[in-house]
Chain A
Amino acid sequence: MKLSKNSIDDNISELLKTDLNKGFRLIVENYSQKLYWHIRRLVILHEDADDALQNTFINVWKSISNFRSESSLYTWLYTIATNEALSIINKRKRNAAVSIDDLGSYFTSSMEGSTWFDGDAAQMKLQNAILHLPEKQRIVFNLKYFDEMTYEQMSKVLKTSEGALKASYHHAVKKIENYIQRD
């Protein structure tokens, strides 16, 4: 019988109380793929996603004893992963001297030249549209559309009210639809 996400999280939280090493291993096994794809959609390049993922788990390990079992493991992990992804994006901005306005174009060209992207034209267009969203809207759209996160969970990850997140997602969808229909 396959356990639900909540049951797995409960098991991990219980295990963390008695055996941190085993609990951490279970977190890595259950969350590395989910967090990787979340990070990857934000940073685009596999190498950056790989760095951010490893940093995420290093930070998880360092602060695991501060994790409160009554909190949601899922939102806690996504918060750390999102912060790591953002710090990689900021590093890229500094190193490549890319302006915030050109960031979408920069990511688009990185994606097009990447070995690790094999989407068709429609997918490329969707990714381009997403990459041209403002940073916060991009995160909100990805979490809702791809990770199917609830607004309540997202509110915990991004420390933003649910109302603001709903508005942000709504605007993001409109912009993406306009972008796709434009050509």
Chain B
Amino acid sequence: MRNLNNIPDKNPFKVPENYFEEVNRKIISATSGTDQEGKKLPVHNRFRTTFLVAASFAGLILIGYATLHFLRPEKNELQVSEVLHGINPDSLINEIDISSLEENVSPLVLSEGGTGVNKKDIIDYLMLDNIEVNDIYDQL
């Protein structure tokens, strides 16, 4: 809306001769070769460092795992006891559901002489763990 019509449209300000060519050159030369915050790099360059770091970590983890796995002595029993450490055996026994045992264990396993384990062994074992005798006989 140019309603100040009586005033000439000419720009009253002046600049030195060739000012814009020179200032453009000055700006370009002042910024060229300098880095700007978060300068965008080509995709392969941008992710190369990340890949290298991730690969190094993966390599270290692999070497560490291999070292532990192949060089440490066998101690499976110790591992089991370590796993069971702190767990109350009674609570494990209470978890046993006789009826589900029967469903899941093959009759062959429980038959006399089938596996070298007879009914008496089983009864003795279960009685040691405070399971009701009647329940045991019922199930066998």
Residue numbers of A with Cβ under 8 A of B are: 17, 20-21, 24-25, 28-29, 32-33, 36-37, 40-41, 46, 50, 53-54, 57-58, 61-66, 115-120, 122-127, 144-145, 173, 176-177, 180
Contact = CB atoms under 8 A, between A and B. Distances in A.
29 contacts: A20-B40, A32-B27, A33-B20, A36-B15, A36-B20, A37-B13, A40-B13, A50-B19, A53-B23, A58-B27, A58-B30, A61-B31, A61-B36, A62-B36, A63-B37, A65-B36, A65-B39, A66-B38, A116-B14, A118-B14, A119-B12, A119-B13, A122-B8, A126-B4, A126-B7, A127-B12, A145-B2, A173-B1, A173-B4
B27 A57 contact: yes
Interface size range of chain B in the complex: 20 to 34
Contacts, number: 95
Given A28-B28, A32-B27, A118 B12 contact: yes
Nearest to A127: B12
Contacts of B7: 122-123, 125-126, 180
A55 to B, nearest CB: 10
B34 to A, nearest CB: 7
State the majority secondary structure of interface residues on A: helix
A37 B11 contact: yes
Given A58-B27, A58-B31, 8 more contacts: A24-B31, A32-B20, A40-B13, A46-B14, A50-B19, A57-B27, A116-B13, A122-B6
A33 B34 CA distance: 23
Given A117-B12, A118-B12, A123-B10, A57 B20 contact: no
Contact of B36 (A28, A63, A125): A63
State the majority secondary structure of interface residues on B: loop
Interface string B89-108: 00000000000000000000
Contacts of A50: 19, 23
A35 to B, nearest CB: 11
Nearest to B11: A37
B16 interface: yes
Contact of B37 (A62, A117, A118, A124): A62
Contacts of B36: 20, 61-65
Contacts of B26: 54
